A = this chain, B = another copy of it.
Amino acid sequence: TINADRLWSTIIETARFGGTDKGGVRRLTLSEEDRQVRDWFRAACEAAGCTVTVDGLGNMFALRPGKDMTKPPLGIGSHLDTQPTGGKFDGVLGVMAALEVVRTLNDAGIETDAPLCICNWTNEEGSRFAPAMMGSAGYVADLPVADILARTDAEGVSVGTALDAIGYRGPEEVGAQKLSGFLELHIEQGPILEAEGLPIGVVEHGQGIIWYDGRITGFESHTGSTPMHLRKDALATLSEIVLAIEALAKAHGPNAVGSVGEAVIARPSRNVIPGEIAFSGEFRTPDAGILDALDKALQDKVKEIAARRKVDVRLDTIWRKEPTHFDPVMTGAIAAAADRLGLPHRPIVSGAGHDSFHLATLVPTAMIFVPCKDGVSHNELESAKPDDCAAGTNVLLHAVLAVAGG
């Protein structure tokens, strides 16, 4: 079994890179804080006997040799970037657990059959640059590398420029580091495992995701002297869209969610009717048919709202990720490892997106979930218990040994 104290202190140690006074982490992808944690990660992997390479999207690969170097390595890991007001565990746990697995194997003098490769994927969060899971999208060729490099943040900085700014546009060709499979440990980010008192979730499916960018163009005019029936109010229009997304998600069963995360009024003034608003939106559901239905219903609803309010609404689908179905051999290895360790588990659907969703399109992949407090994530209050982190890492260790061959 792994060294639980070392795992925990490693998580706490790296939380200082971008650490906030509320106990959270603000480590936007390709920021200075991201550079710091990447430098730390490279040094820690090298100290654990790994060779670290970086590809053209900043994805980091730390290779631990195996007995049979003709076999492609088994990938383990997650991501080290966070939300603007993120927690200490989302992504970080998966990378630190992978490092802890390698350290434990080193301590025990175990060489696996296939090599292992700890992965730190660039921009999993999708907050600074859309879409999410960007580095792994490039790796599996879900998006062209050139397209990814040209994506810009709110300040107009491109991914390519940001990679250069922190010195993490690596020489390795994207996708060149072959993997035989991928295993990722992550906090659940939802309330199910905690509510059921279970330490382990075996992730069998991942939700499909659709992301929108929207722009409403109404007409700026005086709040005092413009009669209600002559207004083209962009904020009232947005309000209807926000509530429509909420209502549509609720109407499509317990497994659909829908949200608007960002909305910015251009040139706001308290006595000017908002004339222009940019916003983001999304739906998620494990069922591709329901994702289609939600998308269609929203597009229709938006057309109706725009026509009735005589405003212009653009709603662009900027990303669509089909629902993910993980590999039964890999989920079986995870369930067997949990059984061997006497840890109760259940199958679970991932509400959040993960790099494993992309890896699953290329190689046998699966994920392990551990509970987090109140199911809260993407919040500085995000919290997970040391025991649960250790349990998940032990399951990872045993699944790795089963898959890579002890």
Contact = CB atoms under 8 A, between A and B. Distances in A.
Contact of A273 (B191, B222, B235, B259): B259
A273 to B, nearest CB: 6
Contacts of A222: 189-190, 351-352, 377-378
Interface in A216-233: 219-228, 230, 233
B243 A260 contact: no
Nearest to A28: B269
A315 interface: no
Contacts of A84: 267-269, 272
Interface stretch (A37-45, A62-70, A114-122, A246-254): A246-254
B228 A191 contact: no
A375 interface: yes
**Number of identical monomers bound together in the oligomeric complex:** 2
A163 interface: no
A224 B267 CA distance: 31
Interface in A186-233: 188-191, 207, 209, 211, 219-228, 230, 233
Nearest to A265: B263
B268 A262 contact: yes
A256 B228 CA distance: 8
A36 interface: no
Contact of A272 (B85, B264, B375): B85
A366 B174 CA distance: 73
Interface stretch (A3-11, A72-80, A123-131, A323-331): A123-131
A220 B259 CA distance: 12
Given A207-B224, A222-B378, A269 B239 contact: no
Interface string A162-202: 00000000000000000000000000111100000000000
B263 A225 contact: no
A112 interface: no
A101 B32 CA distance: 62
Interface in A66-122: 83-85
| Residue in A130, A243, A256 whose Cβ sees the most chain B Cβ within 10 Å | A243
A208 B213 CA distance: 39
Interface residues of A, number: 69
A111 to B, nearest CB: 37
B240 A243 contact: yes
A288 interface: no
A63 to B, nearest CB: 31
Where chain A touches its partner, the secondary structure class is loop
A132 interface: yes
A85 B220 contact: yes
Contact of A246 (B233, B375, B377): B233
A353 interface: yes
A270 interface: yes
Interface stretch (A48-56, A274-282, A335-343): A274-282
Contacts of A35: none
B284 A224 contact: yes
A171 to B, nearest CB: 31
Contacts of A263: 235, 263, 265, 268
Contacts of A190: 222, 225-227
Contacts of A243: 236, 239-240, 243
A226 B127 CA distance: 17
B225 A375 contact: yes
Contacts of A224: 189, 207, 209, 257, 282, 284, 351-353
Contact of A269 (B211, B256, B262, B350): B262
A207 B225 CA distance: 9
Closest 6 CB pairs of A and B: A225-B351, A239-B239, A189-B225, A190-B225, A223-B259, A270-B280
Given A221-B375, A239-B243, A243-B243, 20 more contacts: A83-B269, A85-B272, A130-B270, A189-B224, A190-B225, A191-B230, A207-B224, A223-B282, A223-B378, A225-B377, A227-B254, A233-B259, A259-B271, A261-B269, A261-B270, A261-B273, A264-B265, A270-B282, A271-B378, A272-B379
